[in-house]
Amino acid sequence: MNAAPSPNGESPAPLQATFPCRQCGAALRFTPGQGSLKCPWCGYESPIDDLDNEIREYDLREAIAALNKAEKTLSDTEALAHCTTCGAEFTLDPNITAGDCPFCGSPVVTAADQYRLFKPRALLPFRIEADQARAAFEKWLRGLWFAPNALSRHARADDKLTGIYLPYWTYDSDATTHYNGLRGDIYYVSVQVPVIVNGRRVIQHRREPRIRWTPASGIVRRHFDDVLVGATQTLPRTITDELEPWDLDALVPYQEDYLAGFRGEVYQVRLDEGFQLARKRMDHIIREDVRRAIGGDQQRISQLRTHHENLRFKHILLPVWAAAFRYRGKSYRFVINGRTGRVRGERPYSRVKIALAIIAGLALTAGSLYLFAEYGQNDRSEMRATVRPF
């Protein structure tokens, strides 16, 4: 479905889908949680037929080898979309494949592979509706720690919630890691310590820990399945990464019907860039595997050599509700997992509450130290009969 240049050098109109109602001609929209398109005017519903297509994964190394050459032929400019409902033509931003006509509001979905090499092969449909998402946001807002007292009363949404399908990569790998390091085992020794008790210098026996280090080396293996990496740059990764977990077992083959009435993005993080981010997540898990393999009480890792085999990937879309709220003149972005209602976002903090918490923590620490000192004094008094002077 790649759009080839026309003979006069101009790009043809992009391939796109619209969703007219069979009864009244208005635009159908996907209904979260119901698996169907619904007309907001007459109530007509059109079920989305399940596809029997297998959700395939593709060879990563082959795809990366073809990436640079192929993507140079694809458009990075704005796409001209045509609304079949009102006849208007309008542009979509380069990273947007689905949206509403700005003149009549009808949903339009263009073909993602006109702008990027890889088309989404699967997606998770929206499960919760906008009202449910807003209720989840208000609950999250009320539950924020160290938030200003007036936040839940005065925070106001800048705009209505926008449903967006965000692009993601998933990566699979069979990782084999050779490691070298040290295993530390704790043991205790009895030492004599001179102390002053009631003005007299005496010897006390004390158990002190020591660590015995021994060389360790070996191999650990792990299969990574569906390591998830966000491929959008519209929202910060610190927010979108915290929307996990996603029920990826519920992925369905990509159909444009699911995007009707929602925004859709193409990936802005390249496939090879995404794999480097996935490797960092894999490396963290591999280090924990190595620590368990080394064993003991402490571990020191001096060298890791990881080889990845059977590298596979797929491109998917995941649903989020996104908006922003204003508090005291400043805007804060937030997103909601369109499957679970999990909310993450930017938020203000109350300096007064943080200061009071620090003061309370310091007071608690001082009280603990005082009790510890009192206990130590009583303990030393009980030991006088067992210590011997020089």
- The pLDDT-based confidence of 92 (bands split at 50, 70, 90) is low
Write down the pTM of the prediction: 0.76
Helix (H) or strand (E) holding 363: helix 351-382
120 lies in some domain: no
Residues 79, 225 share a domain:
no
Q: What is the DSSP string of 61-127?
A: HHHHHHHHHHHTTS--SPEEEE-TTT--EEEE-TTEEEEE-TTT--EEEE-GGGTSS----EEPPP-
SS3 (DSSP) at 236: coil
pLDDT (0 to 100) of residue 5: 35
Is the pLDDT at 280 greater than 60? The verdict is yes
Is the pLDDT at 88 greater than 50? The verdict is no
Residues 45, 172 share a domain:
no
Residues 367, 305 share a domain:
no
SS3 (DSSP) at 319: strand
62 lies in some domain: no
331 lies in some domain: no
344 lies in some domain: no
Residues 185, 260 share a domain:
yes
Residues 202, 317 share a domain:
yes
Average pLDDT over the chain reads 79
63 lies in some domain: no
- Which among 165-169, 200-204, 238-242 has the top mean pLDDT? 165-169
Is the pLDDT at 2 greater than 50? The verdict is no
157 lies in some domain: no
* The total number of structural domains that make up the chain: 3
Residues 318, 357 share a domain:
no
Range of weakest confidence among 159-173, 200-214, 355-369: 355-369
Is the pLDDT at 321 greater than 90? The verdict is yes
pLDDT, tens digit (0-9, with 9 covering 90-100), for 98-135: 666 543 456 666 655 555 678 899 999 999 999 899 88
Domain that holds residue 106: 1-49+75-115
Residues 384, 246 share a domain:
no
- The pLDDT-based confidence of 137 (bands split at 50, 70, 90) is confident
- The pLDDT-based confidence of 152 (bands split at 50, 70, 90) is low
Residues 313, 358 share a domain:
no
pLDDT (0 to 100) of residue 89: 47
Residues 200, 107 share a domain:
no
Using a 10 angstrom Cβ sphere, with 0-12 exposed, 13-18 middle and 19 or more buried, the burial of residue 82 is: middle
Sequence-ordered strand ranges (E) for the chain: 16-17, 29-31, 36-38, 45-47, 58-59, 79-82, 89-92, 96-100, 107-110, 122-123, 156-157, 162-197, 200-230, 252-253, 263-265, 298-327, 330-337, 343-345, 388-389
Residues 306, 188 share a domain:
yes
Residues 38, 177 share a domain:
no
Residues 293, 357 share a domain:
no
Residue with tokens 């519903």: 45
Beta carbons of 144 and 350 less than 8 angstroms apart: no
pLDDT (0 to 100) of residue 98: 63
Beta carbons of 100 and 110 less than 8 angstroms apart: no
4 lies in some domain: yes
